[in-house]
Amino acid sequence: MRTAFINALVAEAEHDPNLWLLNGDLGFSVLEPFAEKYPGRYLNVGVAEQNMVGIAAGLALSGKNVFTYSIANFATLRCLEQIRNDVCYHRANVTIVGVGGGLSYGAQGYTHHAVEDISGMRMLPNMTVLCPGDPIEADWATRIFVRHKGPGYLRLGKAGEPTIHATLPHNLTIGKALRLIEGDTVTLISTSNMLETAMQTSALLAEKGISTGVVSMPSVKPLDSTFVAQEAQRVPLLCVLEEHVRNGGLAESIALHVTELDTARSKILSLCISEDISSGMVGNQMELRRLIGLDPASLVERITKRLAQLSA
């Protein structure tokens, strides 16, 4: 996803002379294409994320279109006050780019785990939150944010995420869900870097004769509430997959919408990270997913168990 992001940003900068990129002393081997082509619009502020956001806000209020870039929890939580007061309060054209969402930097421990970032960004006023599920979605989200007016948060994986989409619909916009597979019993709603896992889980459930759909939800805020309402009336079980804690995440947002519906048929199963265990884990991303039950085999077990409870 990082490569898709920087390639899209470089391409957009050719047509937008006001497009700037700031980073917090990382992104080496990733951001060089922008820095080398547009050195006058690139700034490494050092390990000073609060200052980075303040500089970005100042540039934005002077007419610039600014992207900031850092590891996801550093880009959001370390400078939350500055994002809140300098960017959101002023509706500044600043896009916060968080790389390594979820457990992408699992081996670095909890200091590098971005598992509360969606929650932090969702609660801020005027903030749009996009969490692409593959490089195709990352390219789309980057270009959308270049044209978007106001604060934004773009949550990326780290590297090596597979391409799931062949193409995206030409009319895709902020606030819309993407259906990849139709299903009548279970709908897996994935956001960010859980899309490949959702596809694998759907295939395993299909082998068991369970009709399972897959939906990518790159737009976390605003949420596609129309789609959620329709899906909640259509299938018995909505399963929300996110590499994030439950509090403040996508499942919580979807559940709020569903509880307000008079005609909802669906139950909701939140497949996420428990707040109680997230801070004590160290290991690579796939190992940690297995430990917390976010690998396909564990997800199938949890989903089939919930379906059995619903039919009892």
3-state SS, residue 282: coil
Determine the pLDDT at residue 277.
Answer: 66
- Give 274's pLDDT tier (boundaries 50, 70, 90): confident
Same fold flag, 2-155 and 178-311: yes
Angle at 47 (CA atoms; ends 44, 48), nearest 5 degrees: 90
Q: What is the pLDDT of residue 278?
A: 63
Virtual torsion, Cα 165, 167, 173, 176, nearest 10 deg: -40
| CB-based contact 23:31 (threshold 8 Å) | yes
**How far apart (Å, rounded) are the C-alpha atoms in residues 158 and 1?**
7
Could you tell me if 140 and 127 are in contact, meaning their C-beta atoms sit under 8 angstroms apart?
no
The edge-to-edge listing of strands for the beta sheet with 186-190 is 178-181, 212-216, 186-190, 237-245, 267-273
Per-residue confidence (pLDDT) for residue 156, from 0 to 100: 98
Nearest to 31 by CA among 47, 60, 8: 8
Q: What is the pLDDT of residues 198-255, one digit of tens each?
A: 999 999 999 999 999 999 999 999 999 999 999 999 999 999 999 999 999 999 999 9
Spatial distance between the Cα atoms of 244 and 102, rounded to a whole number of angstroms: 6
Token pair for 308? 């059995």
pLDDT score for 169: 84
Residue 159 reports pLDDT greater than 90? no
What are the CA-CA distances from residue 144 to residues 130, 175, 190 (Å)?
10, 12, 20
Token pair listed for 191: 């956001």
Mean pLDDT on 104-127? 95
User: If you ran DSSP here, which 8-state letter would residue 86 be given?
Assistant: I
- The CATH superfamily of 2-155 is Thiamin diphosphate (ThDP)-binding fold, Pyr/PP domains (3.40.50.970)
Q: Span 55-76, mean pLDDT?
A: 98
CA–CA gap between residue 230 and residue 272 (Å, rounded): 23
pLDDT of 253: 96
Sign of the torsion formed by the C-alpha atoms of 150, 57, 53 and 99: positive
Q: At what angle do helices 250-259 and 225-234 cross, to 10 degrees?
A: 70
Residue type, 256: L
CB count in 10 Å sphere of residue 236: 15
Domain boundaries, the chain: 2-155, 178-311
Q: What share of the chain is helix, strand, coil (3-state, %, to 5)?
A: 45, 20, 35
Give me the DSSP letters along 238-264: EEEEEEEESTTSHHHHHHHHHHT-SS-
| Cβ atoms of residues 175 and 213 within 8 Å | no
Third-level CATH fold of 178-311: Rossmann fold (3.40.50)
Q: Of 27, 278, 255, 41, which Cα lies nearest the Cα of 156?
A: 27
